[in-house]
Structure 1
Amino acid sequence: MSSQPAASPVAAATLEARREEARIWFEGLRDRICAAFEALEDEAPADLYPGEPGRFELTPWKRGNGSEDLGGGVMGMMRGRLFEKVGVHCSTVYGSFSPEFAKHVRGAAEDPRFFATGISLIAHMRNPHVPAVHMNTRFITTTVSWFGGGMDLNPTQDYQRREDFEDAKDFHAAAKDACDTHDPAYFEKYKKWCDEYFWLKHRSEPRGVGGIFYDHLDSGNHDADFAFTRDVGEAFLEIYPEIVARRMDTPWSDADREEQLIRRGRYAEFNLLYDRGTKFGLETGGNVTSILSSMPPEAKWP
C-alpha cells in the first residue's frame, strides 16, 4: 500500500508494526463488546422485551471500485429486543486524500497519503430509560501519526440529562479512571473538549451528558498513547454494560418514548451537521451504510 511517504526501512517496519498492532486491538475490542451486548440481549426480561434475543450480523466491505486495494472493514449490526439498533464497526483504510480534504487533515497538506484504523459504535436502546451511547477510538497516520477518540453518554429522558445523575456520574468516573492512570490533567482537558465538541450550536444545547473526547494525541511516546487509547476502550466495556443492566428492568410509557424520539432527532442533527467521523468516512470513500448506521432507527421533529 502506498499510504505513507518514503522512510528508512527501520522506520517503515516500525510504522507497519504499529498499524497492525492497533488494527488487531480494535478488532479484538469489537469482538468483546459484541459478546457483552449479546449477553445483555439474553438477560433482558421477556415481559418488557418479547421475542428472540438479537445477534450481530458482521458484513465485510471493501473500499474503492475493486481495481485497487484501498482497505475496508467489517460492519457489525444488531437489531435486537433490548438494543433497538446498535452498530459496532471496525475499518482499516488507506490511500490518498483529495487535494481539498488534505488541506484540513494534520500532516496531509505535505503528502496526501494516509492510513486509518479504528473502532466506532453507537447504541440506540429500545427502553427510553437506558441511555444511548457512542464510542470510538482510532489510529491515523499521514506524514505524522496520532490517536483519537472518546466515549459519550446520550440519555433521552430529561431527568437523566444531569451530570449529577447516577449514570452520568459513573460514566464520567470510569473515563476519569482511564485518564488518571496516564495523566491527571487528561480528564478535565478531554471532558471539556467533549462538552465543546458535542454541542449543538444551532440549538445552544448539548447532545448528551458528555464523557471524554480527544484527538491528535501524539505525546512523542507511541506506546503510552496507545496504552491510553486501550484503557478508554476498556473503560467503556466495563461501565456501559453496567448502566444498561441497571436500567433495562424499568418500564416506560408512551410519553417516555415520545421524549426519546425527540432527543434522537438531536442526535441525528449533530451527526449530519458536525460530526468529524461522518465527514471523514464520506470524504475517504468509506462504506456509506456503515457510516450512516449511527442514525437512530426512529426519530421525531415535532
Structure 2
Amino acid sequence: MIDPAVLDSRNARARAWFDALRDRIVAAFEQLEIDAPAELFPGEPAKFELKPWVREAGGGGVMGFLRGGRFIEKMGCHISLVHGTFTPEMAANMPGADKDPRFTATGISLIAHMRSPKVPAVHMNTRFLATQTGWFGGGADLTPTLDSQRSQEAPDAVTFHAALKGACDKHDPAWYPDFKARCDEYFYLPHRKEPRGIGGIFYDHHNSGDWERDFQFTQDVGEAFLDVYPRIARGRMHEPWTEADRREQLIRRGRYVEFNLLYDRGTMFGLKTGGNIESILSSMPPEVIWP
C-alpha cells in the first residue's frame, strides 16, 4: 500500500511534469502552424484554446484544443488529475483495487490530425495511476493516412521507432521490443484484420519496483515524442497532395474512429469513470468518410 503522503507527492510531481510537457507541446505545434508554407496552407495560423474543467466525482483537468488550423486540422492535448472510486466491474481489472476501489490518476493525452494527407496523424499519452499500488502507462503511435507510407520500413516509421527505441534503451534494452509488440497487438482492428497505423510503443501497469526510474522513463517517452514528431511533420509540410490523396486520408480516418469507439481502453476508462466527454472524444477526426 502506498503511504498517502508519498502518493500525494508522486501525483503532484507527475502532474507538474505533464503540465510542463503540455506547455512545450503547445508551443511546438503552434510553431508548426506558423512555419507551414503559405502556398500550401493559406490563412492565419491557429492557436490552442485551454479550457479548465471540473470532474463532479473528484478532480479535473485542462483541455487544450487547436481547431481549424491551416496545417493542423484538429488537435487535442489534455492534462488531468482525477480521483474517485472504481465500480466493481472496473475494480476487478485494476491491480490493488480488489482490496480498495479508490484510485487517483493523472496524465497527458494528445491526438493530432493534420490537414495534409502527406503528414501522418499521431497519438501520445502517458499517465500515472494508483490504487493500493501504482503504475505508469502510455506510449505513442503513428498513423500515416496514405498506403504508400503504411509500412514499418517507410522513412517516417523508421524515424519514429528509432526515437522511441532510444527512450526505452536508456533504461532497459528489453523494453522496446516488448512495448513495440504490445503496441502492434493493441492498435489492431480485428474486424478489418489490419493495424491502425505503423505502431510505436505501448506499455501499461508498468511498475519495475523503482518509481523514480519508471517516472524518468515516462518523461523520456514524452521527450522523444516532442523531438521526433515535429521533425517528421516539418519534413512533410512542403509536399503537395492530390484530391485522391485527400480522399484516401479521409477513408483512413474512418479506421481511427472505428478503433477508438470499439476498442480503445482510454476511451472506455474515461467514459466509465465520469471523465470529460469533450476531451475523451477529441480524438475523433474533424472530417471523415466511409465509402
User: Which of the five TM-score ranges fits, normalised by the shorter chain?
Assistant: over 0.9
- 2:121 paired residue number: 132
Q: Percent identity?
A: 64
- 1:106 paired residue number: 95
Partners in 2 of 1:171 and 1:101 — Cα distance?
A: 33
Residue from 173, 178, 189 that aligns with 1:200: 189
User: What's the Cα RMSD here?
Assistant: 0.9
**How much does 1:98 deviate?**
1.5
The alignment partner of 1:214 has SS state of: strand
Partners in 2 of 1:92 and 1:15 — Cα distance?
A: 13
**How much does 1:201 deviate?**
0.7
The alignment partner of 1:47 has SS state of: coil
The alignment partner of 2:140 has SS state of: strand
The question of 1:29 aligning with 2:21 is answered yes
- 2:172 paired residue number: 183
- 1:49 paired residue number: 41
- 1:70 paired residue number: 58
**How much does 1:100 deviate?**
2.0
Q: What's the TM-score, normalizing by structure 2?
A: 0.98
- 1:61 paired residue number: 53
**1:163-206 deviation per Cα after TM superposition (whole angstroms, max 9, x unaligned):** 11110000000000000000000000000000000010111100
Partners in 2 of 1:15 and 1:191 — Cα distance?
A: 29
- 1:39 paired residue number: 31
Partners in 2 of 1:190 and 1:104 — Cα distance?
A: 20
**How much does 1:106 deviate?**
2.0
Question: Any gaps of 5 or more consecutive residues in structure 2?
Answer: none
Runs of 4+ more than 3 Å apart: none
- 1:20 paired residue number: 12
Partners in 1 of 2:154 and 2:195 — Cα distance?
A: 16
**How much does 1:115 deviate?**
0.1
**1:126-166 deviation per Cα after TM superposition (whole angstroms, max 9, x unaligned):** 00000000000000001110000000000000110011111
- 1:280 paired residue number: 269
**How much does 1:107 deviate?**
1.6
Partners in 1 of 2:99 and 2:33 — Cα distance?
A: 48
Partners in 2 of 1:43 and 1:108 — Cα distance?
A: 47
Aligned pairs, number: 290
Partners in 2 of 1:283 and 1:130 — Cα distance?
A: 33
**How much does 1:238 deviate?**
0.2
Q: What's the TM-score, normalizing by structure 1?
A: 0.95
Partners in 1 of 2:242 and 2:23 — Cα distance?
A: 34
- 2:290 paired residue number: 301
- 2:161 paired residue number: 172
Question: Any gaps of 5 or more consecutive residues in structure 1?
Answer: none
